[in-house]
Amino acid sequence: MKDPARKLRDNLTYIQNVLKDGVFYTLTHEQIENLLIESGNLVEKLDSITQSSLVVGLLGGTGVGKSSIMNALAGLEIAETSHRRPHTDSILIYRHVQTPLPADLPMSGIPWREYTHAADSIQQILLCDLPDFDSLVDEHRKNVMDFLQYLDVLVWVTSPEKYADGRFYEFLRLVPKAHQNFYFVLNKVDILFEGKGIDGGFEELSKVHSSLQKYLKKNGVENPLIYMLSAREPLQKDSLAHWNQFSTFRYQIFQQRKFKEIKDIKTANLDQEMMQLLVSFERELINLEVIQKSVEHSCAELKTDSGELNQAFHTSMALWMETDQIKSEMIVRMNNLSLLVGPAIGFAFLHDGLKGLIKSREDRDTANLATLIEEISTVFQRQLNRIKNRLSIHILRRGVPSSVTGKIENMVGSADKAEDIHKKVNNIISTRTASHKNPAVVFKALQYGAYLFLFLLLVFAMAGEEVWRKFFAQPGLTTLINFLLASLYTLFTPRGLAAVASYALINIFFGYRFYVHYRKMLEKRAEKAIASLQTELNVLWEEELDRVHDELIRTSNELKDTIKTLKTLKSRS
Amino acid sequence: MIGYQKDSDQDSSTKSTGFHQSTWEAIQCSGLTGSAEEITNLKKSLQRELDVFFYKQATRLVWIVFAGGTGTGKSTLFNALCGTDISETGVERPKTQRPVVYSYKGKVISTNFPFPDFHVDQVHERENDSGYQKDSDGMYVIIEHDREELTNLVLVDTPDLDSLEIKNRQMAEDFYLLADSIIFVTSQEKYADEVPSRFFHRIYREAKPYYFFLNKADITLTRNDVLSFFEAQGVTIVKDHVFLIPLVSSPAASVIAINEEFRKFNALFLAECGENEFSHMLFEGQKRNARILADKIDRLITMLEEENLAGQGWRNELDAILAESSHNLTEQIESHFKEASRNHIQNEIRNIFNKYDLLRKPRSFVSRLLLAPLRFLGLKKMDSTESHTKDLLTVRQKIDITPMLVTIEWFNRLVLERLSPHDSRSPLYNKMRDEGVGLTNKEIRKRVQDEQENLALWIEETFKNLARGIPKSKEWGIYTTSILWGIIIVSFEIVLGGGISILEAVLDSVLAPFVTKGSVELFASHEIQQIAREIDRRYRKGLHAILREQKDRYESSLLSLITPQETIDAIGSIRERLEG
């Protein structure tokens, strides 16, 4: 078996670690500080168990004869007894001259007086007579409560009249001391023998004894040590009646104890005090369990509703993405005139210029994309807020103090997410537009080819059939020069002019077709870009949702850990 | 054992009080004032005390009740007074487990007995064997006698009032209510004990006649010791009503009966409570009880009124939250169409106008001619016409109900955060968290859909009416039905998105150039504006109605915990009956 003192020390260290490392929700900072201080005090008290004296206190209601027992134990009238109620109002300490008082007693403000003796055999014991705890004088009760901290062994005194009083048991439950350090004394049992004879008296005695035992058991004291005695007898007579257990009681109190025994007694009390500390954790434990359940519930809800949430995001986003404005904005961004050759460029300029004329200045607002980014991050934020809200409602519905909700919401995500989204959206847009600036070589070659073909057609047409036939019959420098000269010559004839005019018209027509093709290409690309932007934003949202989900799981696990720790704490003690 | 057992738990709704049970049941409390517990307790005790009051009025008997701490010797003194050992005495504590009633034969006590949870054993003194005191809970014993001097008196020995048996305390309390006079018994050991002393303080405070017994008194203890102790607590005991009885050994009752002090008491008792005095005592007692009851009723009414006032405050707060959430909702749906998105809307509307402008028909003829080659080249597409219903459907599919869901969630949260009582035991706390108080997403969705459905129907109807009213001569130009439809659809779309202010501004700016040309009527701008506004009004109303429904659910959960004014008035009327 482990040494109880060591076990207590371990437990206290454990508590302190829990307090330092645990994540708490409803325990305030001050409460944690206080608990740390209190547990520290307990450790200190545990360390200071070196002196081998024991403080024994007599507790009981008014009139049960605590002072008489005090006198009987001391063997002389040190405490005043009286028929007046309530009598004792200060604490009387009976001690050996060399046994020190509890160090901080003089400063505690509790009224006390003392009687010193020189009986070495009971040097270990500091005997204290306490005021009552059941009279109308509240101050007595308070003094008793304040003095409890000094007591190691508690002698609970009652009488045949008072042993069923509710107050006695109320107070018994209130006192944070180890039950193993309790003794119970039923005083004034001589009354039971009056006019009854020995047999009748014993019968009464056993009835009272079993009732008392039953009540004590009902109030949590499993195996009470009960002494039935009359304290009046040893003071008045030399020999005790044989039903009087006073001498056994006296022996029990004054026996010589080894240091280890004393240490065990004190440790047991400290252990009880530690249990009191643990009570503070109970509320927290309940709250934590509720919060954990709420978080878990929210997690599950997030999973089941993810489709709906994604859809909601998608709808909100589409409202902004699928507009002509964004499309034309994209087209403007992707416009790359270097792709066009010849007259098509002219058409492009013409189109842009016309557009500029038709549309008002407002429409040329280039802030469109910035607005889009802003709107989308708002959509993100709104959806996140919604998740937070739901979580808070779960927690509030289950009745956790509303102060907690803020703490939990912070876990889901904070406002600076907007900045992140901003960046991400910007990134996506810039990579998308950049990737479409790659020159389409084929398109350009096609244009060059077409224009070259037209030009050749013109040249051949102007040179005349004879000349190009000759040129093909005898390809050579001379024929080539002839051919070119013939074309040049024809240029200034009416036929030539007609050919050039037709050439120009056809060129323009080609240019227009190419331009239209180019526009269509741009449009397609813009649509593609928007579509992929949407997909990527959806992915981004889903990632965000996953992140929140993970965050919640993490929180839930963290809570589980703390709950487990607190439960271990409970089971340890 | 001869006698009868009678279940006195009879029809409790029509007690002699004439005060209907439902009135008591109508007393509710929300716990907003923190006096929920007091109200519940007071309600219970008032109910009981009123029963006692009317019972006493009906039976006209004087009740003398022995009360005191456990082990003080109540039963011994009771036996001494009755002259026989009818209440068991002994060292087990608490000894007396149920009240023992000593009354004149033939007096009917158990009819309408005000504590319905008690059963009764009635037995005649001479037939009494000591077997009656069995351990059965919720019983009291009536012992009948034929002593003429006690004809109208009922003597009761009660269980203790300070032991760990809580139910004993309750019984003592019950019989205290019945008592016209209390024989308070304490002892040398107990007279300073808090619990019994507080009980005596109550007797003193409520001015019930009493006899004070200090039993088992030490020889050295004097009457003055006791008097001065109570004097220090502010309680002045009538000196000749204090009796000090020394500790005696068995048979205690008979020894006490011949004690000087006790005989003094006996004489005084018969003189004060005997035949001649009884009706006076009864009268005084009922007067006193009526006063106490009236005070309690006043207190109850005050608390209920405070509760109702707090409820009003709560409802105001709820209204404030509703207003805040409504504002929030408006803001949220409007944020869909921020100022920055104005261009977008303006373009959409202008598109419609551009397509259907004044010279639409001639221009389209010209353009069809001119653009024929272009179309041939695949440049210009033919206008596609969609059916009206399809338009509406498309718009509705585009609508995002998230703002509505978010707002309701936000509202729920605010209510729980700000309006929930902190104490989890308070009735409102639980009521607010009941299943079915919060609208579910499904419910919200359904309601939004219904709203839109209604709105769509309304739009179609309005449009038909409008189209019918257009004169043939103006059927071209702006009045073409398609442009009207186009405008309405856009309005609908924008309104569902929440942008009425933007819509108005945009409509103004688009219509303005046409309007200044002096053809206001021609452009139907009034109609368009009006329709847009009406769509907006209706839609908003619909959305806010959903929010309001959520609010009403909370409100009704409070209202179910509010005591109606009629009930408060009914309680007030009992007070008048008591005085009358």
DSSP string, A120-140: GGGTTEEEEE---SSBS-HHH
Q: Over 70: is that where the pLDDT of B476 sits?
A: no
Partners of residue B191 in chain A, C-beta under 8 Å: 85
Q: Over 90: is that where the pLDDT of A60 sits?
A: yes
CB of A189 less than 8 A from some CB of B: no
CB of A323 less than 8 A from some CB of B: yes
Ranges B109-118, B128-137, B187-196, most confident:
B187-196
Beta partners for residue B144, in sequence order: B103, B124
Residues of B numbered 98-127 whose beta carbons fall under 8 angstroms of chain A's beta carbons: which are they?
none
Contact B229 A85 (CB under 8 A): yes
**Predicted pLDDT at A166:** 92
Q: Please name the residue of chain B whose CA is at the shortest distance from the CA of residue A370.
A: B340
CB of B400 less than 8 A from some CB of A: yes
Q: Please name the residue of chain A whose CA is at the shortest distance from the CA of residue B95.
A: A164
Residues of B numbered 257-316 whose beta carbons fall under 8 angstroms of chain A's beta carbons: which are they?
none
Instruction: List pLDDT tens digits, range B351-375.
Output: 555 544 444 455 455 555 555 554 4
**Predicted pLDDT at A490:** 82
Instruction: List pLDDT tens digits, range B273-286.
Output: 887 888 888 899 99
Partners of residue B445 in chain A, C-beta under 8 Å: none
Q: How far is B304 from chain A (nearest CA, A)?
A: 26
**Predicted pLDDT at B345:** 56
Question: Is the separation of the CB atoms in B356 and B480 below 8 Å?
Answer: yes
Average pLDDT over residues A284-311: 87
Question: Is the separation of the CB atoms in B69 and B195 below 8 Å?
Answer: yes
Contact B93 A211 (CB under 8 A): yes
Partners of residue B68 in chain A, C-beta under 8 Å: none
Q: Report the alpha-carbon distance of residue A516 to residue B116 in Å, rounded.
A: 98
**Predicted pLDDT at B440:** 84
CB of B93 less than 8 A from some CB of A: yes
Average pLDDT over residues B160-184: 90
Packing angle of the helix pair A368-397, A259-321 (nearest 10 deg): 140
Residue contacts between A and B (CB atoms, under 8 Å): 172
**Predicted pLDDT at B340:** 44
**Predicted pLDDT at B2:** 29
Residue A447 CA, chain-centre distance (Å), reads: 67
Q: Please name the residue of chain A whose CA is at the shortest distance from the CA of residue B398.
A: A315
Nearest to A162 among B71, B91, B338 (CB): B71
Partners of residue A396 in chain B, C-beta under 8 Å: 413, 416-417, 420
Across A449-453, B228-232, B321-325, B342-346, least confident range: B342-346
Instruction: List pLDDT tens digits, range A251-293.
Output: 999 998 888 888 899 999 998 888 888 888 888 888 889 889 8
Ranges A224-238, B296-310, B332-346, most confident:
B296-310
Contact B163 A324 (CB under 8 A): no
Average pLDDT over residues B243-264: 87
Those residues whose C-beta lies under 8 Å from the C-beta of residue A473, and which sit 6 or more positions away, are A479
Ranges B394-408, B433-447, B558-572, most confident:
B558-572
CATH number, domain B44-276: 3.40.50.300
**Predicted pLDDT at B372:** 55
Question: Is the separation of the CB atoms in A228 and A189 below 8 Å?
Answer: yes
Contact A392 B402 (CB under 8 A): no
CA distances from B516 to A256, B359, B510, B520, B527 (A): 115, 17, 11, 8, 17
CB of A389 less than 8 A from some CB of B: yes
Q: How far is A319 from chain B (nearest CA, A)?
A: 8
Contact B416 A402 (CB under 8 A): yes
Contact B187 A163 (CB under 8 A): no
Contact A136 B220 (CB under 8 A): no
Q: Over 70: is that where the pLDDT of A408 sits?
A: yes
Q: Over 90: is that where the pLDDT of B303 sits?
A: yes
**What confidence category does residue A47 fall into, taking pLDDT thresholds of 50, 70 and 90?**
confident
Residue from A68, A396, A505 to probe the interface with B (highest B Cβ count within 10 Å): A396
Contact A165 B402 (CB under 8 A): no
Domain A53-256 = CATH 3.40.50.300: yes
Partners of residue B221 in chain A, C-beta under 8 Å: 83-84
Contact A85 B197 (CB under 8 A): no
Q: How far is A109 from chain B (nearest CA, A)?
A: 24
**What confidence category does residue B478 fall into, taking pLDDT thresholds of 50, 70 and 90?**
very low
Domain ranges of chain A: 53-256, 283-572
Domain ranges of chain B: 44-276, 312-358+388-421+440-562
Instruction: List pLDDT tens digits, range B59-104.
Output: 888 999 999 999 898 999 999 998 888 888 888 888 888 888 888 8
Nearest to A208 among B91, B233, B398 (CB): B91
Average pLDDT over residues A135-147: 90
Partners of residue B187 in chain A, C-beta under 8 Å: 161
**What confidence category does residue B383 fall into, taking pLDDT thresholds of 50, 70 and 90?**
very low
**What confidence category does residue A76 fall into, taking pLDDT thresholds of 50, 70 and 90?**
confident
Q: Over 50: is that where the pLDDT of B385 sits?
A: no
Q: Report the alpha-carbon distance of residue A434 to residue B239 in Å, rounded.
A: 109
**Predicted pLDDT at B579:** 72
Q: By percentage, how much of chain B surpasses pLDDT 90?
A: 23
Q: Over 50: is that where the pLDDT of B382 sits?
A: no
Farthest CA pair distance, chain B: 138
0.85 surpassed by complex ipTM: no
Residue with tokens 């921020």: B338
Question: Is the separation of the CB atoms in B245 and B217 below 8 Å?
Answer: yes
Q: Report the alpha-carbon distance of residue B573 to residue B91 in Å, rounded.
A: 49
Partners of residue A86 in chain B, C-beta under 8 Å: 192
Q: Which one has a higher pLDDT value, A539 or A163?
A: A163
Contact B416 A393 (CB under 8 A): yes
Residues of B numbered 411-470 whose beta carbons fall under 8 angstroms of chain A's beta carbons: which are they?
412-413, 416-417, 420, 422, 424, 429, 433, 438
Q: By percentage, how much of chain A surpasses pLDDT 90?
A: 24
Question: Is the separation of the CB atoms in B403 and A316 below 8 Å?
Answer: no
Residue from B170, B338, B413 to probe the interface with A (highest A Cβ count within 10 Å): B413
| β-sheet with A153-158: strand ranges across | A112-117, A91-96, A125-129, A54-60, A153-158, A182-186, A226-228
Nearest to A362 among B189, B335, B343 (CB): B343
Q: By percentage, how much of chain A surpasses pLDDT 70?
A: 91
CB of A166 less than 8 A from some CB of B: yes
Packing angle of the helix pair B402-419, A368-397 (nearest 10 deg): 40
Partners of residue B69 in chain A, C-beta under 8 Å: 165
H helices of A322-367, where?
Answer: 324-334, 343-358
Nearest alpha carbon to residue B282 among B181, B143, B211: B181
3-state helix, strand, coil in chain A (%, to 5): 70, 5, 25
CA distances from B274 to B150, B154, B281, B282, B565 (A): 7, 11, 10, 12, 46
CB of A191 less than 8 A from some CB of B: yes
Packing angle of the helix pair A417-435, A494-572 (nearest 10 deg): 150
**Predicted pLDDT at B321:** 93
Q: Is the pTM of this model over 0.90?
A: no
Q: Report the alpha-carbon distance of residue A296 to residue A552 in Å, rounded.
A: 8
Q: What b/e string do you get for B418-450 counting C-beta neighbours within 10 Å, with b at 16 or more? A: ebbbeeeebbbbbbbbeeebbbebeebeebbee
CB of B344 less than 8 A from some CB of A: yes
**Predicted pLDDT at B3:** 32
CA distances from A573 to A288, A308, B383 (A): 20, 48, 83
Q: Over 90: is that where the pLDDT of B244 sits?
A: yes
Contact B225 A516 (CB under 8 A): no
Packing angle of the helix pair A343-358, A494-572 (nearest 10 deg): 60
